Amino acid sequence: MFLDYKPTWMLSKITQLTPEDAKQQGIKAILTDLDNTIIAWDNPTGTRQLHDWITKMQTSGIPVVVVSNNSAARVSRAVANLGLPFISRALKPLTFGIRQAKKRLGLTSGELVMVGDQLLTDVIAANHSHVRTILVQPLIETDAWNTRINRFFEKFLMRRLLRRHPELRWKERLND
């Protein structure tokens, strides 16, 4: 059961993932969560660093696709100036959105990675799709009540995971 929540890697933030490291792992496309993984409420258009990262991935031929549980209206508004394709209403922790992205990209599960800030949605959905995962630290702590409840369970799970898997640690580079 705990394997369901176990991320493959843990990076502080998505921009630490380089095209070279991704390619070395056989990753051909990146699926990413939206909220608190690439954008935060205090910076809804994305940081300069994020924009540079997207450009770097795209010029390296690695597509980045947003897989979000939010509505199409909300996600399309959010990604408008990032120029990223997206899957909305992904139904994470179910595998629906990831399967859709996989089909659209024409790639196998082993050629994808899912990046997200939540074990309970992003990591579980990807693990059940046999897609490797990168857990990132949430960009910002939010006060939304549902997020706070989720964070409580996230912290609980995180403690158990780290106890059971001492090899898991926050890294600066994927292949460190």
Rank residues 54 and 115 by Cβ distance to Mg ion and give the closer one.
Answer: 115
Rank residues 29 and 138 by Cβ distance to Mg ion and give the closer one.
Answer: 138
3-class state of residue 37 by DSSP = coil
Least distance CB 24 / Mg ion (angstroms): 26
Least distance CB 36 / Mg ion (angstroms): 4
Least distance CB 37 / Mg ion (angstroms): 5
Rank residues 36 and 127 by Cβ distance to Mg ion and give the closer one.
Answer: 36
The pairing of strands 112-116 and 29-32 is: parallel
Other residues' Cβ atoms within 10 Å of the Cβ of residue 46:
18
Amino acid at 130: H
In angstroms, rounded to a whole number, what is the distance separating the alpha carbons of residues 128 and 130? Answer: 5
Residues at the contact surface with Mg ion, assessed by CB under 5 A: 33, 35-36, 117
Least distance CB 125 / Mg ion (angstroms): 12
Rank residues 28 and 118 by Cβ distance to Mg ion and give the closer one.
Answer: 118
Q: Which residues contact 34 (CB under 8 A, 6 or more apart)?
A: 66, 68, 70, 75, 78, 79, 86
- CA 64 from chain centre, in angstroms, equals 10
Q: Which two three-digit tokens encode residue 84? A: 């990223």
